[in-house]
Amino acid sequence: MEGTLAGASGEVSLHDFRARLWEQLVHFHVMWLTDSLFLWVGATRHLLNLTVALYNCYDSIPVSTSLLGDTSDTTSTGLVQHPARKTTKQVSYYLQNTDSNFTLLVENRIKEEMRLFWKSS
């Protein structure tokens, strides 16, 4: 399911895609809102962790924190900062597998999809 990018009129844009990473089917759900981006990544439909990053004009590194799940997991808080910096929006992020090599594959797939999705919009 895909929609248009969120604009000043308050539209919500949905973009779903999936990829096979390390022989595991991974689902991605992107929801663009006027001032934020919700990014869900997972192999199952369970929301166990949720991390949020906020872009701010005072620092080049967005502020991020874990809202739900293991607060000692720094992988998700680091990963959510990249799209927040790129989009200058609040980004909510969820990822089940926090293996650093797997996370790099996920991050690269998100970057690739963002380039393709933004170019076509």
Q: Does domain 13-120 have CATH number 3.90.1300.10?
A: no
Q: What is the separation of C-alpha 65 from the centre of its chain, rounded to a whole number of angstroms?
A: 14
User: What mean pLDDT is predicted for residues 6-22?
Assistant: 77
What's the mean per-residue pLDDT of the chain? 79
Q: What is the pLDDT of residues 47-88, one digit of tens each?
A: 777 888 888 888 888 998 888 887 887 777 877 888 888 778
**What CA–CA distance (Å, rounded) separates 70 from 35?**
26
**What CA–CA distance (Å, rounded) separates 38 from 83?**
10
User: Dihedral of CA 9/28/99/69: which sign?
Assistant: positive
Q: Indicate whether 46 pLDDT > 80.
A: no
Backbone angles phi, psi at 31, to 5 degrees: -125, 110
pLDDT of residue 6: 45
Domain ranges of the chain: 13-120
Between residues 67 and 2, which one has the greater pLDDT?
67
Query: Residue 24: what residue type?
Result: Q
